[in-house]
Amino acid sequence: MKKLVFLILPLLLLNACKVDPEISVEKNTGITEVIPTGWPAPKYTFSVNTLSEARFKLGRELFYDPILSLDNTISCGSCHQQATAFAHADHKFSHGIHDLLGKRNAPALFNLNWLPAFMHDGGINHIEVQPLGPITNPIEMAESMPNVMTKVKASAKYKSLYREAWGTDSMTSQGLFRAMAQFMGTMVSYNSKYDRYKRGETGATLSEQELRGYNLFLSKCNACHTEPLFSDYAYRSNGLSPDPYLQDSGRAHITSQASDRYKFKTPSLRNIAITQPYMHDGRYSTLQACLNHYTDNVKNQINLDPLLTPSGLALTADEKSDLIAFLYTLTDYQFITDEKFAEPHH
């Protein structure tokens, strides 16, 4: 809770909120906060940033608008595509502005309200400031917030969207970021075959192979990729050998601690069948290759997670197939085809 206050306060001070009492803010909302039964409490709720359809809509427009980049060519949606659960389809590294390549793989985006921190190294710790990272990153969108504000303020479309959302004409970056948090934070993925099976919905069954995979998963993977989010979001080394060219020290990049070298945030395995390539640097293009890593390539290096050993996990070829069959049940087709999260058509 401390961190949250620490981050919001400076924003509030910078943008003292002047709500014009004359303009009524839309209250009714079809956009709701979803907390699936049996899940832990989210880290971020909309208790302060009250949800409304108009705010969500503003956030959605911004997410898909290249206006947030320096040369108006790249939107958040360029690298985070709905069909692949908001990962960057088939891109090892994301192409940003001027076709510049980043050093890390774009993660899928869903269930973000449960994340204690963002990015592979946890370098950003609040969803309401998260967009500032990519917007100002020189190889992603390479823009500055003052420029973004100038462009957005000059747009008749945003003037009207903003007024409907926040009931005022004086735009602040906080108003934009909070709207984006409403769009991203309501992207909850909880309707995979696995979820329907767990909820005991009629007709939702797992095949024998999927069930074998599920049991293997619980014994070999769940300690880190913990149900129901399929991650506990801790920073760990799963024994990938560091890429000598990328020199990515992971969590240590943020903390400067030797004990954090080569640790990365444990990713969720929800929607994993559609978010290739895999790992922070996109080094593997198939789930089979990821499993081969765990059986054959776990490197005995500094900070290797104590839950893994240098000899790796023991899995037969059949067990790998079973595990992969189970991982496929984690794809949420409802989420990736949900119109509310799609690029708006005008």
Q: How far is 81 from 343, CA to CA, in rounded Å?
A: 9
Separation between Cα atoms, residue 64 and residue 215, nearest integer Å:
40
Q: Smaller CB distance to ligand HEC: residue 104 or 196?
A: 104
CB of 78 to ligand HEC, least distance (A): 5
65 forms part of the interface with ligand HEC (CB under 6 A) = no
Q: Does 177 bind ligand HEC (CB under 6 A)?
A: no
By CB under 6 A, residue 330 contacts ligand HEC:
no
CB nearer to ligand HEC: pick between 37 and 219: 219
Query: Does 59 sit near ligand HEC (CB under 6 A)?
Result: no
313 interacts with ligand HEC by CB under 6 A: yes
Q: Where are the alpha helices (DSSP H) in the chain?
A: 2-14, 53-63, 76-79, 132-136, 145-153, 156-166, 173-185, 193-198, 208-220, 252-255, 287-292, 317-328, 333-336
Type of residue numbered 199: R
Beta bridge mates, 95:
101
Cα–Cα separations (whole angstroms), residue 339 to 82, 204, 335, 336:
10, 24, 9, 9
Query: For ligand HEC, which is the closer residue by CB, 54 or 272?
Result: 272
> Site map for ligand HEC, 138-157, x if CB under 6 A?
--xx----------------
Q: Token pair of 45, please? A: 């709720």
Q: What is the DSSP string of 257-319?
A: -GGGTTBEEPPP-TTGGGS-SBSTT--B-SHHHHHHIIIII----TTB-TTS-TT-----HHH
Q: Which of 78, 82, 113, 329 binds ligand HEC (CB under 6 A)?
A: 78
Interface residue with ligand HEC among 55, 61, 125, 131 (CB under 6 A) is 131
Question: Considering the complex, what minimum distance in angstroms separates the CB of residue 144 from ligand HEC?
Answer: 13
Binder to ligand HEC among 43, 60, 236, 261 (CB under 6 A)?
236
With binding defined as CB under 6 A, does residue 56 bind ligand HEC?
no
CB-side neighbour CA atoms (13 Å) of 141: 25
Please pick, from the candidates 221, 325, 330, 336, the single residue that binds ligand HEC as defined by CB under 6 A.
221
Who's near 281: CB < 8 A, 6+ residues apart?
92, 93, 103, 104, 105, 243, 246, 248
**Residue number, 51 or 106, with CB nearest to ligand HEC:** 106
Rounded distance between C-alpha atoms, residue 186 and residue 189, angstroms: 9
Q: Is 213 in the site for ligand HEC (CB under 6 A)?
A: no
Tell me the β-bridge partners of 47.
none
Using CB under 6 A as the criterion, which residues of the chain lie in contact with ligand HEC when the complex forms?
Answer: 68, 74, 76, 78-80, 94, 96, 102, 104, 106-107, 109, 112, 115, 118-121, 130-131, 134-135, 140-141, 180, 184, 220-221, 223-225, 236, 238, 240, 264, 266-267, 269, 272, 275, 278-280, 287, 290, 294, 305, 307-308, 313, 323
